[in-house]
Homo-oligomer: A and B are copies of this chain.
Amino acid sequence: MSKNPFQIYSDKPITVDGIYSQAEVGLANRNSGNLLETLALDITPTGCHYLLNHFDVPVLDPKAHRLKFSGSFEAPFEVSMAEIMNLPAETMPVTMECAGNGRAGVSPRSHSMPWMYEAVGTSEWTGTKLAPLIERSCPKNSVVEISFTGADYGYDMGEPHFFGRSLTLAQIKELDVLLVYAMNGAPLLPQHGAPLRVIVPGWYGMASVKWLTNITALTEPYDGYQQVKTYRFKVHKDDLGIPIQTIRVKSLMVPPGVPDWSTRKRFVSAGAVDLVGRAWSGDGVPIVKVEVEVAGEWRKANLLEKKHRYAWQKWSLSWQAEPGEYILRCRASDMNGNIQPLDPPWDQAGFANNAAQRVHVFVE
């Protein structure tokens, strides 16, 4: 056994395409992905929404829970869950995606949670707007950022910390940030941040701090581990990096036909096949086009209009499947002119891979 416990994770192991370590599988067993067949539904079934928890789930008592507003506020205060639940409530379907989604497709892969496509989901979140609570506590003129701290605590690369993130005051005004206590019409589940979490619509999931205990007004930019050491686009490991924020344009299809148990390759009967899926982009930017590649030809899918600003859009395409072996792909374009790449964009830690999904299909 090693003498120095920090030694064990001071350098991330080298990865090999298609081969994974025990630690990566441990993370995959803990952090559950969406089941792509449920992309047929507007709202991801409770329990199917992806989960990425850095540390252990704190099991908190909602009756005793307090949210503290402290730091450089003129009027620091704290609130109970009952008080938060008495504030004006809003329910909003929000598509959330993990910043690490698609990591397994980036080569060489960063040694971390090996998501393929499944770290995305859409839930109906109920809570109250954050901005009025920030106004109520009056940030001092010198305040530049507001930090959010969760009750989840542990080590990453030898650094112990509570999970925390920050937003600028401008971002809080621009984004429809919610403090959330219910999901799909039921009280928030422990593993999703009960009794209280943040939802930052349109941003990758790391911004939506769970098990929220503290909101702090800062006169210097927040330097918490999860803000400055990770969740940044880096070309090399030692780059300072660019903060990851808005979700990149992306689409996924329900894999057609039926699966093989272990490989998940798909078997489809020849004839008419309804291909269906979802597409989304960050900051609520609408999707304007989805294309599906069949046998080398990109076909335009039928795209439903956006129903809710921050929720994914449904698309479909009827395919006359003829016997053979296919790699189906889909890609979306958003109103800002962003289009999914066909190959994974490079990032040292495999973040935000929005390359077109590939689905291996046999038509019989």
Contact = CB atoms under 8 A, between A and B. Distances in A.
Interface string A151-162: 001111000100
Contacts of A191: 35, 38, 45, 47-48
A256 to B, nearest CB: 10
A267 to B, nearest CB: 6
Interface string A33-54: 1010110110001111101011
A295 interface: no
Contacts of A267: 5, 154-155, 160
Interface stretch (A22-30, A82-90, A164-172, A333-341): A22-30
Contact of A154 (B45, B114, B259): B259
A346 interface: no
A259 B191 CA distance: 16
B33 A30 contact: yes
A19 interface: yes
B23 A37 contact: no
A263 interface: yes
Q: Interface size bucket, A side? A: 35 or more
Given A18-B22, A47-B189, A47-B191, A259 B29 contact: no
Contact of A56 (B33, B35, B104, B192): B35
A244 to B, nearest CB: 17
A316 interface: no
Contacts of A54: 261
A292 B343 CA distance: 50
Contacts of A46: 46-47, 189
A60 interface: no
Given A37-B59, A45-B190, A262-B111, A24 B25 contact: yes
A156 B20 contact: no
A52 to B, nearest CB: 11
Contacts of A56: 35, 37, 255, 258-259
A55 interface: yes
Interface string A176-219: 00000000001001111000000000000000000000000000
Contact of A25 (B1, B20, B49, B362): B20
A118 interface: yes
A26 B264 contact: yes
A154 B116 contact: no
Nearest to A28: B28
A269 B56 CA distance: 16
A25 B5 CA distance: 27
A154 B260 contact: yes
Which 6 pairs between the two chains have the least Cβ-Cβ distance? A32-B32, A47-B47, A28-B28, A5-B362, A37-B56, A18-B22
26 contacts: A9-B260, A9-B263, A18-B22, A20-B20, A20-B21, A23-B262, A26-B116, A26-B263, A29-B33, A29-B115, A29-B118, A30-B35, A30-B264, A32-B33, A35-B57, A37-B59, A38-B57, A38-B59, A38-B191, A46-B46, A47-B189, A47-B192, A48-B189, A54-B261, A154-B260, A156-B261
Given A2-B325, A20-B22, A154-B261, 15 more contacts: A1-B325, A5-B265, A9-B260, A19-B20, A20-B25, A29-B116, A30-B118, A32-B51, A35-B53, A37-B57, A38-B190, A45-B191, A155-B258, A155-B259, A186-B186
